[in-house]
């Protein structure tokens, strides 16, 4: 019973922290729009832009992928292809099996494009917590980690798709003393130079 009460109180406290972080992040949007940011590349050579904002006890870090703007054009082209194949099926212009195969491939490619990452954002409020957000072409994913659960921030080497890459990670410990590694900016995968700049800013906040 008491554990249930503690969990409810913890959820309410986390929601209060999340609301505070969200308000502070929205206050920094105007500043972020004026900043040009710093250009970097991902491990795949794609262009990304780093937007780094600091205000007293708050750091707002955003990585925007420069290539996602062309995704909408590709989605539109695939949608047109799917419609043309459907018309071909109705008018019996092409073989049914060929049309069906092209239609399925177009839908699979359309789905793959919809889950492409647009940007990743981390808002850190000292003594409150870390708010991690990933925005995709369709959908958004976010988590909140209380400040006291984060043991340290570091850059480590990991094996990813048969190659060694650098990843910014948070070492966390929950109320049950279970340790967990939480990768940051793992969808955009910036190179080491970009991670070092972010790491330096986060460590300055700890001081």
pLDDT per residue as tens digits for the range 13-37: 455 555 555 555 444 444 344 445 8
Same domain for 47 and 126: yes
Q: Which residue has the higher pLDDT, 69 or 199?
A: 199
**The pLDDT of residue 81:** 76
Share the mean pLDDT of the chain. Answer: 79
Domain ranges, residue 74? 70-114
Q: How many residues does the chain have?
A: 207
| Alpha-carbon gap, residue 30 to 26, rounded angstroms | 8
Same domain for 98 and 109: yes
pTM above 0.75, yes or no: no
Contact status, residue 60 vs residue 33, Cβ threshold 8 Å: no
Same domain for 43 and 32: yes
Q: Which residue has the higher pLDDT, 70 or 58?
A: 58
Contact status, residue 187 vs residue 137, Cβ threshold 8 Å: no
Q: Which residue has the higher pLDDT, 72 or 192?
A: 192
Same domain for 48 and 102: no
Query: pLDDT digits over 105-155, tens only?
Result: 777 777 777 777 889 999 999 999 999 999 987 889 999 999 999 999 999
Same domain for 171 and 103: no
- Which of 80, 114, 148 delimits the end of a domain? 114
Structure tokens at 161: 């798709």
**CA–CA–CA angle 61, 63, 67 (5° rounding):** 165
**The pLDDT of residue 36:** 58
Same domain for 137 and 58: yes
Q: Which residue has the higher pLDDT, 190 or 55?
A: 190
No. of H helices and E strands in the chain?
Answer: 5, 9
| Alpha-carbon gap, residue 184 to 205, rounded angstroms | 17
Same domain for 123 and 107: no
Q: What is the domain count for the chain?
A: 2
- Which of 114, 138, 173 delimits the end of a domain? 114
pLDDT over 90 (residue 80): no
Same domain for 85 and 152: no
Same domain for 125 and 53: yes
């Amino acid at each position: 019973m008491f554990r249930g009460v503690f969990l409810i109180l913890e959820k309410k406290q986390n929601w209060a922290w999340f609301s505070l972080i969200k308000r502070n992040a929205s206050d920094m949007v105007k500043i972020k729009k004026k900043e040009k940011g710093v250009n970097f590349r991902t491990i795949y050579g794609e262009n990304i832009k780093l937007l780094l904002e600091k205000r007293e006890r708050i750091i707002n870090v955003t990585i925007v992928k420069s290539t996602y703007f062309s995704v909408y054009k590709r989605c539109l082209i695939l949608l047109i292809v799917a419609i043309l194949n459907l018309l071909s099926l109705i008018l019996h212009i092409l073989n049914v099996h060929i049309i069906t195969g092209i239609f399925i491939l177009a839908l699979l490619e359309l789905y793959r494009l919809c889950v492409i990452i647009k940007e990743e954002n981390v808002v850190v409020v000292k003594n409150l917590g870390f708010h991690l957000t990933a925005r995709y072409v369709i959908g958004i994913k976010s988590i909140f980690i209380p400040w006291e659960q984060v043991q340290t921030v570091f850059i480590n080497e990991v094996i990813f798709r048969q190659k060694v890459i650098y990843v910014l990670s948070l070492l966390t410990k929950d109320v049950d003393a279970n340790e967990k590694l939480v990768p940051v900016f793992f969808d955009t995968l910036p190179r080491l130079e970009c991670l070092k700049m972010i790491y330096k800013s986060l460590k300055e906040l700890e001081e």
